[in-house]
Chains A and B, each alone.
Chain A
Amino acid sequence: MSSLIQVKNVTKKYGGLTANNDISFDVGEHEILSVIGPNGAGKSTLFKMISSFTPTTSGEVLYRGERISNLKPHIVARKGVVRTFQETTIFKSMTVRESVVVAQHLRAKASLAGYFWGSRTAQDDVAAFGKYADELLEFLGMSEIANELASNLPQGNLRALGIAIGLATAPKVLLLDEPFAGMNHDETMNMVNLVRSVRDERGVTIMLVEHDMPAVMSISDRIVVLNFGEKIAEGTPSEIQNNENVIEAYLGSADDEIGM
């Protein structure tokens, strides 16, 4: 497996606090890689650096060998590396379908002026976006709420909407920050299957941060573990479940081992 994303010696300091210290790892194409760790371990910070939402203090992130850290978020998104947010982040007064349509704008063939004058290409774009939105919402099982206003959705659907918006950009790499948060068991299992089929059917490489261990163990090809900003382990789910450092970091004892 060739590596698509390379995190190379990335460090992030907030004043005196080191949120990430010299983190390195690779993500292979079509891989599902999870980043786990206790609260405040630096997981979200790492995702923010990969998507250029915050600059690195030192080190760099490469995508297909090209640096994507310390740029602008929209430039990284245009290259195909797109993140979702840990906190609920939606377009409040758009419907689900409108959100998914606007998120496809990167694929527009017509210029902004073309849209203004209603050129043929722009009309084709609009038709294509609508079609793809319907197809994507169907795929995500969200067709029924397509015309609901985002601000009217229950919590579980908000997460799904965040993922739908990210997916609508047709990313090559999707970074999901706690995609299962606030979901019950069934919803989580449903979402696990969806994320897997996003990878299998759409060929999207997935990185995710999650606290739900059963979900992480079942979905991940590999796992990176952070603790106090340090990478303390990296490996397959079974390797991680049996890793002394990890068990200690999570619980301070080997009794309650993580896993299913």
Chain B
Amino acid sequence: MGFSSKQMMGLGVFLFAIFVGVPLLIGATGRWDFYFTLTSVALLAIASAGVWLTFYIGRINIGQGAFALIGAYVSAILVVKAGWSFWLSLPAAGLFAALVAVLIGLPILRLRGVYFAMITLVLTQVVTLTALALPITNGAKGISNIPLPSGLSLFGIPLIPDFGSMENTKLAFYLTACILMVVTYAALYRLVNSRLGHLCRSMQQNEELASSIGVNIAYIRIVIFAISSFFGGLGGAMFGSIAQSVYPSSFQVADSVNFMLNCFLGGLGYVFGPMLGTLVLYFGWDLLFEFGKYQMLIYSTLLILIIRFLPNGLLSIRFSKGDKS
């Protein structure tokens, strides 16, 4: 895949900024709390990437919180009750979320537009209620006291150090979340620019025409929804590990709505849109904190204005003149 030198430069600057720049800045200013904020942004951006992918097949997904919650519980249960290494529970959480997505997706992915959106909107609540009801999830008490990720070594070669014996777990979690985010977006970029991505585009633009050229749209929808939910599960599992606890309310309907808004805000036409959207939305909300009870009002008004006047998202400002990536 050919990258222009400009794109390579941009990528280099971005990687340098998150892996070197941010730690240096935080070290210099002593604002250690920013690690937690930026870690959250990175993890939310991973879940948002999944939502963006369902938009890519023309479906509005307001249910990613459900899959994040599933991922968080699966990882917590595997680590706490089955004694798994966190690093193994992480992909398992993603896969379990993907499996649930296949089962749920089979009946609901036929629905389009607002009907699909409405059904996904209740998913988060369904998972919350399930977590409250099941014995294995510990009901309302949730699962607390999740140990920090242990070290990981392969054939005696240490790959990841033990988080428990670290002085600065904040930095370690931050770096882990960033690596995960970079891998997620690299995979997303690759997917969108490969044959699967092209088939998704064909479906998004015209499902009838796509099936007339032999695209198995039902199958592709399921595959995409599963990948989307895999990202949700991954993000959720990481969150649980950082918070060292999971509760039925760890992810709520509002989170699911935010995942979707992140995508709208960043731009549905750009792979990196949800990443930018998550960053802006997260900090935007915090910055409005001083407006007290008007926070929500100002926040919503701004969102409506942005979506009204920038229907293609924030990234469209930069790309509107010519080079669409």
**Interface check A205, CB cutoff 8 A:** no
Which listed residue, A77, A90, A91, touches B214 by the CB 8 Å rule? Answer: A77
Q: Are A112 and B194 in touch, CB under 8 angstroms?
A: yes
Contacts A53-B208, A89-B208, A92-B205 hold; do A78 and B214 have CB atoms under 8 A apart? yes
Q: Are B212 and A73 in contact (CB under 8 A)?
A: yes
A169 at the interface (CB under 8 A from B): yes
Assess whether B300 is interfacial by the CB under 8 Å rule: no
Q: For B201, list chain A residues within 8 Å (CB).
A: 91, 93-94, 102
Partner of A90, one of B195, B209, B216: B209
Is the Cβ of B195 less than 8 Å from the Cβ of A89?
A: no
Q: Is B215 an interface residue (CB 8 A)?
A: yes
Residues of A contacting B213 in the complex (Cβ-Cβ under 8 angstroms)? 77, 82, 102-103, 105-106, 165-166, 168-169
- Neighbour of A106 across the interface among B198, B205, B206, B214, CB < 8 A: B214
Determine if A172 is an interface residue (Cβ-Cβ < 8 Å).
Answer: no
User: Given A74-B216, A94-B201, A108-B195, is A116 in contact with B190 using a C-beta cutoff of 8 Å?
Assistant: yes
Residues of chain A contacted by B209 (CB below 8 angstroms): 85, 89-91, 165
Q: Is B109 in the interface zone, CB < 8 Å from A?
A: no
The count of chain B contact residues (Cβ–Cβ below 8 Å) is 23
Check if B205 sits within 8 Å of A91, measured CB to CB: yes
Partner of A85, one of B190, B196, B212: B212
Contact B206 A90 (CB under 8 A): yes
Give min CB distance, A107 to chain B, whole Å.
10
Docked-complex contact B202 and A77, CB < 8 angstroms: no
CB-contact partner of A115 in B194, B208, B212, B218, under 8 A: B194
Interchain CA distance A84-B212 in the complex, whole Å: 8
Is B28 close to A, CB under 8 A? Answer: no
* Beta-carbon contact of B194 and A89 below 8 Å: no
Whether the Cβ atoms of B1 and A118 lie closer than 8 Å is yes
Q: B108 at the A/B interface (Cβ < 8 Å)?
A: no
* Residues in chain B near residue A83, CB distance under 8 A: 212
Restricting to B117-155, which residues have a CB under 8 Å from any CB of A?
A: none
Question: Which residues of the partner chain B approach A165 to less than 8 Å between Cβ atoms?
Answer: 209, 213
User: Are the CB atoms of A115 and B206 closer together than 8 Å?
Assistant: no
Q: How far is the CA of A106 from the CA of B209 in the complex (A)?
A: 14
Residue A122 interfacial (CB < 8 Å): yes
Does B199 reach chain A (CB closer than 8 Å)?
Answer: yes
What CA separation (Å) do A74 and B217 show in the bound complex? Answer: 8
CB nearest neighbor in A for B208: A89
Q: What's the least CB distance linking A81 to chain B, in Å?
A: 10
Interface mask (A66-104 → B, CB under 8 Å = 1, otherwise 0) = 000000111001100011110001111110001001110
> Which residues of B have CB within 8 Å of A110?
195
Residue pair B211, A102 in contact (C-beta under 8 Å): no
B206 touches A91 (CB 8 A): yes
Cβ-based interface call for A51 (8 A): yes
In angstroms, Cα B209 to Cα A103, docked, is 10
Chain A residues within 8 Å of B223, by CB: 112
CB distance from A257 to the nearest CB of B (A): 36
B191 at the interface (CB under 8 A from A): yes
Q: Which residues of B contact A84 (CB under 8 A)?
A: 212
Check if B196 sits within 8 Å of A112, measured CB to CB: yes
Complex CA distance for A74 and B219, rounded to whole angstroms: 11
Q: How far is the CA of A77 from the CA of B217 in the complex (A)?
A: 13
Interface positions of B from 158 to 214, Cβ below 8 Å from A: 190-191, 194-196, 198-199, 201-202, 205-206, 208-209, 211-214
Closest to A87 in B: B208
The docked-state distance in angstroms from the alpha carbon of A169 to that of B196 is: 17
| Closest chain A residue, CB of each to CB of B205 | A91
- Chain B CB count within 10 A is highest, among A82, A83, A105, A106, for A105
**A122 / chain B contacts, CB cutoff of 8 Å:** 194-195
B205 — which chain A residues lie within 8 A by C-beta?
91-94
Query: What residues of chain B lie closer than 8 Å to A82, measured between beta carbons?
Result: 212-214
Q: A74-B214, A74-B216 are in contact. Are A91 and B195 (CB under 8 A)?
A: no
Residues of B within 8 A of A125 (CB): 195
A168 to B213 alpha-carbon distance, docked (Å): 9
Residues of B within 8 Å of A106, CB to CB, are 213-214
- Once the chains are docked, how many angstroms separate the CA of A157 from the CA of B165? 68
CB pair A169–B208 under 8 Å, yes or no, is no
A129-163 interface with B by 8 A CB criterion: none
Output the nearest chain A residue to B214 by Cβ-Cβ distance: A77
- Sorted nearest first, the 4 A-B pairs with minimum C-beta distance are A77-B214, A115-B195, A115-B194, A73-B211
A-B contact pairs, 17 of them (CB 8 A): A51-B212, A73-B212, A74-B211, A74-B215, A77-B211, A82-B214, A85-B208, A85-B209, A91-B201, A91-B202, A91-B209, A92-B205, A102-B201, A112-B194, A118-B194, A166-B212, A169-B213
- List 11 additional contacts besides A93-B205, A112-B195, A168-B213; criterion CB under 8 Å: A51-B212, A73-B208, A74-B216, A84-B212, A89-B206, A91-B202, A94-B201, A105-B215, A106-B214, A115-B194, A166-B212
